[in-house]
Amino acid sequence: NAGVTQTPKFRVLKTGQSMTLLCAQDMNHEYMYWYRQDPGMGLRLIHYSVGEGTTAKGEVPDGYNVSRLKKQNFLLGLESAAPSQTSVYFCASSYSDFFRDGYTFGSGTRLTVV
Amino acid sequence: DQQVKQNSPSLSVQEGRISILNCDYTNSMFDYFLWYKKYPAEGPTFLISISSIKDKNEDGRFTVFLNKSAKHLSLHIVPSQPGDSAVYFCAASARFASQGGSEKLVFGKGTKLTVNP
């Protein structure tokens, strides 16, 4: 079982460049999430989706856009990257918002903006 | 304002002894709590959870205790093993809050556990 797959695993961007991070899950989960992890900051929710075609803002949405055109995919876009967006990005999914068993996370994308 | 606090950035214990990781929360509407474990270069993995209607949940070597009056929970690992060395995140949600809460998980900053052989 692949679970949650994130691509790419590593990326270096120059300030002002754009990119899209892809998250794919094969568990037929309805809910998907994008988090960022920064040293000493824990995991912070960027955007999330409660189903195909839906998106919503999380705690730190500024500078990011998302799309959920297909149930299995959740894309995170950076239109004009900034050094403050250097972080490790984690995608997660869950069957419902009642997370008795929690979220399933991907292995992360390490992004550096120079 | 941080709603879920893990005040110890790191903890070091000897193999075979007990590890106790602590977590405090401020939002009284939180009603479900989870612990995640994270190894370097991997995503967090779910470890154990507890509902606010309970004060203890046990799964093998892992036990989570909840003290609602103190807004405090702890994760006990007994006995600790070197393979337990990882970062542990506490997370909370207000799953059944009627209003003003958020069903989305709120994470603490994590505690790095090192179990020495």
Strands A109-113 and B86-93: unpaired
Question: What gap in Å lies between CA A104 and CA B93, rounded to an integer?
Answer: 16
Give the model's pLDDT for residue B98.
47
Give the model's pLDDT for residue A98.
63
Percentage of chain B with pLDDT > 90?
A: 79
Supply the mean pLDDT for chain A: 92
Residue A21: pLDDT band by 50, 70, 90 thresholds?
very high
Three-class SS state of B38? strand
Question: What gap in Å lies between CA B38 and CA B45, rounded to an integer?
Answer: 6
- Whether A88 has a pLDDT exceeding 60, the answer reads yes
- Residue contact B95–A103, C-beta within 8 A: no
* B29-46 per-residue burial string, b: 16 or more CB within 10 A, e: under 16: bbbbbbbbbbeeeebbeb
From B50, which residue of chain A is nearest by alpha-carbon distance?
A100
Residues in chain A within 8 Å Cβ distance of B36: 102, 105
Who wins on pLDDT, A19 or B100? A19
Residue A95: pLDDT band by 50, 70, 90 thresholds?
confident
Residues in chain A within 8 Å Cβ distance of B49: 99-102
- Whether B97 has a pLDDT exceeding 60, the answer reads no
Residue that has been written with the tokens 């994308």 in this structure: A109
- Residue contact B46–A42, C-beta within 8 A: no
Q: Of the candidates B14, B33, B13, B32, which has an alpha carbon nearest to the alpha carbon of residue B23?
A: B33
pLDDT tens figures, B27-53: 888 888 999 999 998 999 999 999 999
Question: What gap in Å lies between CA A54 and CA A26, rounded to an integer?
Answer: 18
For the segment B4-21, the average pLDDT, to the nearest whole number, is: 96
pLDDT tens figures, A34-74: 999 998 888 999 999 989 999 999 889 999 999 999 999 99
Count CA within 13 A, CB hemisphere, residue B44.
33
Give the one of A41, A100, A107 whose C-beta lies nearest to B49's C-beta: A100
- Residue contact A33–B93, C-beta within 8 A: no
Max intra-chain CA distance, chain A: 40
- Residue contact B43–A105, C-beta within 8 A: yes
Residue B61: pLDDT band by 50, 70, 90 thresholds?
very high
